Structure 1
């Protein structure tokens, strides 16, 4: 068989524990269509070493969004050429493979494995931050669900005061949206400064540009396209794809067009 038919199949430990049947099905389909070497890493470090030792074999990851992000980060650290495509068979709960589905990877074990064998490589953008971290699709500040901030555990005194307030009047049924004082720059253009409270910031890579949306509390969203975005200000956390990072004081993300390749079903 030729080199493209030689696969290194890296099966994430979480996928093996949570859905062994889907893992088995995917492996059987792959083994029936190509020469396969299977790796079963038990830790992120072993996962990275397995990918680094793939040689000429085409890397295939069986796992969830977090496994995909680890693989992309490893290939980025190696400065792997974009024409060496990564393949993915998503295995995990629905909310754990949302990124894979958004990128166009089939979510069933059989169609995903067949796409690995018969699909085509598609070049995709990356957002790379100043600590060499990668963002495949997009990031959001703050990192909490639905744009709400992550709340730290209260102290005992805070808990007592909250209990007293609850006894005096009913607790609000809708969480209060907190604002943040952030300086946001897109290619040097100032979109928001520290004296303008914002409810959230999103950055998403799309078709060779980074789309930036700043949501002020009392004004219409500010939108821009850029190749580099810097957010600074009070300590903040952000959600990059499926991962929450921080706190940080400042961070710059730079768009890398067509920086990696993912195998997707042929059109």
Structure 2
């Protein structure tokens, strides 16, 4: 028998990295949610398996995640792999070291504002990208991966969904490793060696196809490719050719499927770096993610 989430009954799942990096924001969010909802059940998972069990057993409660981008992507990936994403409305209070994706999706900054959006916001359906290894991308993906202090590369080589890339890496790495990396980062002024993507090897020769039409081929070196879920079920694709003297104008297109192939390449998707792969196809899933956001 199907169960339906009740708006004032919440399952609050608190990611361990959020608890360790910003316990005060976690406490504030819990207080706001507890005061505004008829019923809240708070869960403190310590492993990916425990997290998955708690999410699966949510019953009629609406799931609320307190965590950063990596926790958000893991949650969406779990729901997608169980084919439960379309029927679930997710709420997020962004807490932790990596928050760019959540904020780009429209989730407010600050624990109070985000918790109020959980209680008083409206459901908005957002497009996502799903690749041919069942990985999910919520924000932009970039080839080659751009270094970013606010993002953390996954040394396992897993994509944003946690599904192994064709390069192969362990799946379900214990969260202890993530916690150790986060604590080490917070105790030093220098970014950890895992906090940035591998340096770009220079121009790449890639074939980029949008809805089966070749946008750029292997004979044209490119500096960068970006793919972002756009609007109305299409992705925005931008290819920057190698500049020869004067700056080369970017090549832009929109479509529902994007295929990149060529020599081994890595890409940054949300908060992770995946690859190397020789071919990958992303397809837009229109309105696949239901997210509670502030009323416009």
TM-score range, shorter chain: 0.7 to 0.9
Query: Is contact 1:177–1:199 with CA below 8 Å preserved after alignment?
Result: no
Aligned pairs (5 A) from 1:223-242: 223-242=252-271
Aligned pairs (5 A) from 1:123-202: 123-145=125-147, 178-202=202-226
Q: How many pairs were matched up?
A: 237
TM-score normalized by structure 2? 0.77
Aligned pairs (5 A) from 1:25-36: 25-34=28-37, 35-36=39-40
Q: Establish whether residue 18 from structure 1 lines up as the match of residue 42 from structure 2.
A: no
User: How many Å separate the matches in 1 of 2:92 and 2:227?
Assistant: 24
Question: How has the CA–CA distance of structure 1 residues 176 and 49 changed in structure 2, closer, same or farther, with 3 Å as cutoff?
Answer: closer
Cα shift at 1:55: 1.2
Q: What runs of 5+ residues in structure 1 fail to find an aligned partner?
A: 151-174
Q: CA-to-partner distance for each residue in 1:182-205, whole Å, 9 max, x for gaps?
A: 111000110111121110100001
Question: How has the CA–CA distance of structure 1 residues 52 and 214 changed in structure 2, closer, same or farther, with 3 Å as cutoff?
Answer: same
Q: What runs of 5+ residues in structure 2 fail to find an aligned partner?
A: 154-198
Q: Which has the higher helix share?
A: 1
Work out which of the residue numbers 88, 95, 101 in structure 1 matches 2:92: 88
Cα shift at 1:144: 2.9
User: How many Å separate the matches in 2 of 1:111 and 1:52?
Assistant: 27
Work out which of the residue numbers 240, 250, 266 in structure 1 matches 2:279: 250
3-state SS of 1:25 partner: helix
Cα shift at 1:25: 0.9
User: How many Å separate the matches in 2 of 1:61 and 1:81?
Assistant: 14
User: How many Å separate the matches in 2 of 1:118 and 1:249?
Assistant: 45
TM-score normalized by structure 1? 0.85
Q: CA-to-partner distance for each residue in 1:189-231, whole Å, 9 max, x for gaps?
A: 1011112111010000111210111111033211110100000
Tell me which residue corresponds to 2:184.
Answer: none
User: How many Å separate the matches in 2 of 1:12 and 1:188?
Assistant: 40
